[in-house]
Structure 1
Amino acid sequence: MHTTSSIELSAIPPDTRRYNSAYSGGSGYRGANDGAFAGEHLKDIQWDNLTLTKFEKNFYHEHPAVTAMSDKEVEDWRRQNEIICQGDNIPKPVLSFDVSPFPADVLDVIKKAGFKAPTAIQSQGWPMALSGRDVVGIAATGSGKTLSFILPALIHIRAQPFLQPGDGPICLVLSPTRELANQTQEECARFGTSSGIRSTCLYGGAPKRAQIDSLRRGAEIVIATPGRLLDLLDMGVTNLRRVTYLVMDEADRMLDMGFEPQIRKIVGQIRPDRQTLMWSATWPKEVQQLARDFLNNPIQVNVGSLDLKVTDHVKQIVKCVTEGQKLNETLNILRSIDKHSRVIIFTKSKRGADDLTRELRRDGFNALAIHGDKEQRERDYVIEEFKAGRTTIMVATDVASRGLDVKDIRVVINYDFPMCVEDYIHRVGRAGRKTADGYSEGTAVSFFTDTSARVTRELIKVLRDAHQDVPPELERYAYSGPSGGSFSRYGRSYGGYGGYGRGGHGMTGSNNIPIGGGN
């Protein structure tokens, strides 16, 4: 990093925040609304009254091979890859690492990681982000979007002055969940270490001490859930005076979780001429309004249609069953699939996740549960065991349905059907993930009971749009409605999925039930 162009640190008076040396203070973890009242003492910064030092944010130098692409070639590539761009002067895509704008040390890490080519969203997203313009990206989890904003962030940071004692980050990534924040931080560490770029992760449900220490040592990149970040800002531990590259990851999910007030409070602490990138899996009117409020003349890239849909690489199976049938149906599926296949089973409640995990472990399956009531250490452990394949069954609430970066999930089971079709799509999207070699095939099995009647017709549309089978009972129920009675005692039977192994160990509560028995 060189030593020119950054915000003038003395421009912002120190009384724009409340100082508190009590490390254990603040709001702590508040479930989905982590830090719901944090930041209430932060004063809005009157940016119009400040003189800000200019900084550089356009670092894109187009490779001659990219420049040589004709408009028709660009159009054909975008159509084949379902890329839709909106805005003026959209850069051409970068189709290979050889013509990418990244320095040799970053490219070396990319090649060692086994990546053969950029994903579609990376090809189009990299030049857009490096151009210094505000960007809206609409892409599903698993599309490679994280590297679409992380690698350009490294280039941006290199061009800024080194951090000085008391400085906050240069790049801030806001994330809806601890799991997604941790996964993003892993990518930052993976690709940033060679550049000497430090990153840290801030989230509720974990002690503040280690997070405070990492901030005080200095971190060019901070990935944070909104509540914990506001807690630490409120305590005066860090500040956002140096942020010139802001990312809002999974913006739709953050709004779903009620984080809009926190996001607005945070953005008010960041200079208005920053570069802002907003990523979202969907594009509802609430996210559009957020983009209008926080982005300046953005360019937009969509992967696939703006209509939310399941990738073609997921086989969707809906089984119309009663509540009492779901456990045996689940056991039958697990007994029939390959023992090495990773499986995520979604339940609607924390208690339901624990109860099902106990049943599966008693029946000999090495299942582990993850939800918001688990301690952070246990949640981290479960994710690591699942990623490493030492545990191949994860029972989860929706806390893990978005942002969980685990390759090769072969089966998703919706034990409890979600409240809305959007959540259904996000859940089943865990299977059939994008990999370096293309898409992996996946299967999603969903148990549909009469309690989910309100989404019947929407579900049928999703199935038909993806050219999937619609069970006759589901169709009948769509037209008979609640007055048509409940489903028959026996749901439709589906063909084999492939024995399942046993073994492993638990931790606490449901995760501590001995495999094959116990109370």
Structure 2
Amino acid sequence: MTEKMPKRTIEDVEIEAMAVGQVERKKEKTGEKGKKAKRDAENGVEVGVNGAVEEEQGMKEKKEKKEKKEKKDKKRERKERKAKEKEGEAIVAVEDVMEVDVVGTPVAQRQPEKPSKEERKAAKKAAKEARKKARKEADGEPNGDASPSSLDTPAPPKTYSTPSGPPMTSSGYKENSELTSLPKSTIDEFLTKHAITITDPHNSNLRPITSFSYLPSNSFDFTGFTSPTPIQAATWPFTLSGYDCIGVAETGSGKTLAFAVPAIRHIIALKAKQKSSKGVRAVVVSPTRELAAQIYDTMEKYSKEARLSAVCVHGGVPKDEQRAKLKRADIVVATPGRLNDFINEGSADLSNVSYLVLDEADRMLDKGFEEDIKRIIRAIPSPTRQTLMFTATWPKSVRKLASTFMVSPTRITIGDDDLRANVRISQTIEVIDQHAKESRLLALLKQHQSGSQCDDKILVFCLYKKEVTRVEGFLRSRGLRVLGIHGDMSQERRTQALAQFKDGDCPLLIATDVAARGLDMKVKLVINVTFPLTVEDYVHRIGRTGRAGADGMAYTFFTEHDKKLSGELVNVLKAAGQPVPEALLKFGTTVKKKEHSAYGAFYKPTDGTQTSKKIKFDD
């Protein structure tokens, strides 16, 4: 009996046929690969070095494509995720609103999502604008700009706008009747004799105070002074009247008293009007520590007589003692850097200051203090501020600075705008070989500091700090009593050296230009071992002698390295009536063109007699 085959569906038959076909095709492919490998082996085909390199490059390209694709995928995923998150936040916000509207109670607080980079930048910008707007409103400056540095400091000082009106007059100056009764010819003779030029935009016709007795309610001790110096006599009427004032005068002309006397009278008048008045009322800014200390000595002497307190603020010493004295001071004498430190930390409150002095303004600009000066000015209220500026020269940089914060200032010039040396100083220029300086210096010191002259003070200037150390060591090895001073020394050592020189304990001082300005001490002789970098600095160096009406001497070594300054030096010597050596003239007298104080670099002086010329063109 034959066994019957089980019935199969059409689907089963089709699947079975497909499987058999796949197996057969696979066998065919395997066979083809085997045949190809066999043919390659038979033909001796080998994979070379070039093929390996190509294969490696291909793998590298595949890898790079794969990485790029993965980066694109990740970027796309991030975008999709952010879009979903924003969509979710919008849905949540709608649900919150609906829930509050329907139920009447808010939903549970949700954790806020981290803001994006763009959102953080926008929020930061908005906060910055808000702070800036609040500061402007607090200062009464709807259109002013805040100082960039004030945003970074922990305790930013209050800033004030550029003054827009005349300063307040607090001292109520009234001209002395005896001064008023003097004939005009006497006043004109005084102005002509001292080459005083007064540029007064107020047309106040104030006469110079030519005698101490003409000062109002004179309670100052001027023992040792016969009469006011030209800069004092000419500026006092205007500063006592409350006007902004610019004084241009040579070094050693008595500028310290020119602003010290009005400052003290100004504060006394304010205290009489405001019984509960406290805080700093006057600020004097100077370029160097030594000059600041010297101004402070003068201020302290006269402020004590008026029962006022003064403090000197400069670098090189600890801040703690200065910080404590600032709290009870009426007058602050400071260098720009240290005063700005105290302003930024909130230790110096200048909101009550109404009398500001910038001494040696040209020197401060030369030393790069312009931004520091502007920050100090911004910290002082302008509507009540009286500003004084004293300078030995009147260059464009100083004029520009004065125009930004002074109100119609009266300018008093002793001499003219050109650089001039003190005519009472005998100037000797020696053209010398670089290697002969030390032996010539030793000969000069023996000539001017021997016998009865052994205690006469001599100040020797060098250009570099290392040069000071070398010259000091050389002179000490020759048995001379000598001290050195330069910027790398500690403030304590600098102060001690200056004190010993001033007191006469050591009559010979070697210094860099740190001692070139403002030091008020009797110096018999100045010697320039190395010529300074500018003729302006030369004038200030020799200005350490011949001060307060006395005569002085200056010797200067000039070498071939300095020949580019020979023209300007010749002009300074001629203007002061000093001899010009032939050896100096050999270097030339060319001078770089100077700008006119009013017309700038394009000014050309003419006598007005030249007539126009008719130009003819050939046919």
1:344-355 equivalence runs, <5 A: 344-355=459-470
Does the CA-based 8 Å contact 2:199-2:412 persist in structure 1? yes
Residue of structure 2 equivalent to 1:185: 296
Residue 141 of structure 1 deviates from its aligned partner by: 2.1
Does the CA-based 8 Å contact 1:167-1:239 persist in structure 2? no
Find out whether 1:295 has 2:414 as its counterpart.
no
User: Which residue identity is paired with 1:226?
Assistant: P
Residue of structure 2 equivalent to 1:360: 475
Specify the SS of the correspondent of 1:341.
coil
Residue of structure 2 equivalent to 1:94: 209
Residue of structure 1 equivalent to 2:40: none
Tell me the alpha carbon deviations over residues 2-26 of structure 1, each in whole angstroms, 9 at most, x when there is no partner.
Answer: xxxxxxxxxx99x99xxxxxxxxxx
Residue 103 of structure 1 deviates from its aligned partner by: 3.5
Residue 161 of structure 1 deviates from its aligned partner by: 3.6
Does the CA-based 8 Å contact 1:177-1:225 persist in structure 2? yes
Residue 446 of structure 1 deviates from its aligned partner by: 0.6
Residue 138 of structure 1 deviates from its aligned partner by: 0.5
Structure with greater helix percent: 2
1:156-171 equivalence runs, <5 A: 156-161=266-271, 168-171=279-282
Separation in structure 1 between the aligned mates of residue 589 and residue 209 of structure 2, nearest angstrom: 49
- In structure 2, runs of 5+ residues without a counterpart are 1-134, 140-148, 592-619
Find out whether 1:392 has 2:507 as its counterpart.
yes
Residue 73 of structure 1 deviates from its aligned partner by: 2.1
Find out whether 1:430 has 2:544 as its counterpart.
yes
Q: Tell me the TM-score normalized by structure 2.
A: 0.67
Structural RMSD (CA): 2.7
User: Which residue identity is paired with 1:132?
Assistant: G
Residue 165 of structure 1 deviates from its aligned partner by: 10
Residue of structure 2 equivalent to 1:239: 349
Match of 2:222 among 82, 91, 110: 110
Residue 229 of structure 1 deviates from its aligned partner by: 0.4
Separation in structure 2 between the aligned mates of residue 480 and residue 97 of structure 1, nearest angstrom: 45
Match of 1:145 among 237, 249, 255: 255
Q: Between Structure 1 and Structure 2, how many residues are aligned?
A: 437
Separation in structure 1 between the aligned mates of residue 199 and residue 361 of structure 2, nearest angstrom: 19
1:154-233 equivalence runs, <5 A: 154-161=264-271, 168-216=279-327, 218-233=328-343
Find out whether 1:333 has 2:441 as its counterpart.
no
Report the identity percentage.
Answer: 36
Does the CA-based 8 Å contact 2:159-2:379 persist in structure 1? no
User: Which residue identity is paired with 1:431?
Assistant: T
Residue of structure 1 equivalent to 2:98: none
Does the CA-based 8 Å contact 2:459-2:527 persist in structure 1? yes
Match of 2:517 among 377, 392, 402: 402
Separation in structure 1 between the aligned mates of residue 544 and residue 348 of structure 2, nearest angstrom: 35
Residue of structure 2 equivalent to 1:25: none
Match of 1:323 among 419, 426, 434: 434
Residue 60 of structure 1 deviates from its aligned partner by: 0.8
Tell me the alpha carbon deviations over residues 248-277 of structure 1, each in whole angstroms, 9 at most, x when there is no partner.
Answer: 111000000000001111101111121100
Residue of structure 2 equivalent to 1:446: 556
Separation in structure 1 between the aligned mates of residue 344 and residue 497 of structure 2, nearest angstrom: 32
Residue 72 of structure 1 deviates from its aligned partner by: 2.5
Does the CA-based 8 Å contact 1:90-1:299 persist in structure 2? no
Tell me the alpha carbon deviations over residues 174-217 of structure 1, each in whole angstroms, 9 at most, x when there is no partner.
Answer: 1111111101100011111011110001011111011011112x
Separation in structure 1 between the aligned mates of residue 322 and residue 512 of structure 2, nearest angstrom: 26
Q: Tell me the TM-score normalized by structure 1.
A: 0.80
Q: Larger C-alpha radius of gyration, 1 or 2?
A: 2
Residue of structure 2 equivalent to 1:343: 458
Does the CA-based 8 Å contact 1:139-1:302 persist in structure 2? yes
- In structure 1, runs of 5+ residues without a counterpart are 1-11, 17-36, 482-519
Specify the SS of the correspondent of 1:94.
coil
Find out whether 1:66 has 2:176 as its counterpart.
no
Match of 2:489 among 374, 378, 387: 374
Tell me: CA distance 1:126–1:323, structure 2 relative to 1, closer, same or farther (3 Å).
same
Find out whether 1:135 has 2:245 as its counterpart.
yes
